[in-house]
Every structure is written in C-alpha cells, then in structure tokens.
Chain A
Amino acid sequence: NAGVMQNPRHLVRRRGQEARLRCSPVKGHSHVYWYRQLPEEGLKFMVYLQKENIIDESGMPKERFSAEFPKEGPSILRIQQVVRGDSAAYFCASSFDRAVLPNEAFFGQGTRLTVV
C-alpha cells in the first residue's frame, strides 16, 4: 500500500541546469497537486493536474517552470535554468478524484532541491 512516492529525495543542481522532480501518486489516484515550501514557511500551491491535463496552474511561475502528468508514468515538475531562489522543498499530493475534501489528498515526502 505505497503512498505518494517522490524522487529524488534530494537534488543538487548548479545554476542554469535543469531540475526534474518526479511524483508517483497513490495507485489508482488520477489527480496530482504540486506545492513548494521555502525554509521556515508554509506550502505554496503551484499546480493541479489530472491525467494529461493541467487543471489549475495559477501558482506556477510564468517562466522556467512546467508540469505534466502523462497517461502513463509519474507526474514531472520541470524547472529549467535553475536559480538559487528555486532552492526549496517541493511536495506532491495525490487524490482519487477531485478532492472534494482536500484531506483526501495524501502528501509525499518531498524533493529537496538545492541550487549551488
């Protein structure tokens, strides 16, 4: 009964490189949410995806950030040309259906991105 799996747990990138963060939702879940957490702060919503569709990307930076959730495989959060300000923990949550009750969305353990 695996929960939300995120990998890698830790990722170090040099400025200008690309970061790819992966999220495998709970088996049977077709809705994925990405959040970003800066040190000593709360989580900030980034994007909500269903299989092959972006439903709400109101929290995504306009440039360099993209997300996908293909029909097969994990959801990917991609950050191009990373800068030091991208250093944060990125969390993924998944739910079976549209989370009428958001507590039904389970969070993964996060990917901690460090840009050097």
Chain B
Amino acid sequence: GESVGLHLPTLSVQEGDNSIINCAYSNSASDYFIWYKQESGKGPQFIIDIRSNMDKRQGQRVTVLLNKTVKHLSLQIAATQPGDSAVYFCAENFGDTDKLIFGTGTRLQVFP
C-alpha cells in the first residue's frame, strides 16, 4: 500500500506581512548555520548564514537570529512577497567537516 509520509510544517502569511520561520538544531558544537530556500523542483538556494559568535545577522529583507542557549535559529522575512513561497531549511555545520546537517524544513505559503 501507499506509505504516508511526514508533512512539512506550513506557515501561511499574507503578502506584505513579516514571516518568522523557526528551526531547532541538534548539535551544541555546531558553529556555523545557513538558511536555504528551496522552490519546487529546484535545488537549495543560499539565503543567509551566521556564525556561532554572533546572535543576529541581517541581509536584504531577511534577518537570522541565533540562540545558542536553547539551540534555536530563526529566519525573519520582512514584507513577504509571493516569490518567497518555498520550503525553507536551516542547516548546521561544525568543526572541520564540510558536510551540512539539514533540518526538516518549513513550507512558506504567501497569499494575497
């Protein structure tokens, strides 16, 4: 029979509102974090990154916040637009490794 897969958590926001996407990471030794955007049928696209010696970093319309005490990462998108609709993943990296550990993702839906 057909297996039932996990469904991504979904955040629905109105165009023009701010969006906040949250992520809990797993490894307290992780010292580098990235947010990726993935549109349907495409590969991950880098949005913004942050090192563990920072707690906030801003880009164009996006801000990443890092709370190492509770191992929590958030992505804030200002004035959300329809083009922001996608699945967003956080990823962590630690030590001398080159591999990224991805979170499970959040689907952002923007409605008019």
Give me the interface of A with B, judged by CB distance under 8 Å. 4, 31, 33, 35, 38-45, 48, 55-56, 58-59, 91, 93, 95, 98-99, 101-103, 105, 107-110
Would you call B6 and A41 a contact (CB within 8 A)?
yes
Would you call A56 and B105 a contact (CB within 8 A)?
no
**With an 8 A cutoff between CB atoms, is B99 at the interface?**
yes
Would you call B42 and A109 a contact (CB within 8 A)?
yes
Give the residues in chain B near A41, CB-CB below 8 Å.
6, 104-105
Interchain Cβ contacts under 8 Å between A and B, 8 examples? A35-B100, A40-B7, A42-B91, A43-B100, A44-B102, A45-B101, A91-B43, A102-B34
**With an 8 A cutoff between CB atoms, is B97 at the interface?**
yes
Closest beta carbon of chain A to B91's beta carbon, Å: 8
Consensus secondary structure, chain B interface: loop
Nearest opposing residue in chain A for B99, CB measure: A45
Closest beta carbon of chain A to B6's beta carbon, Å: 5
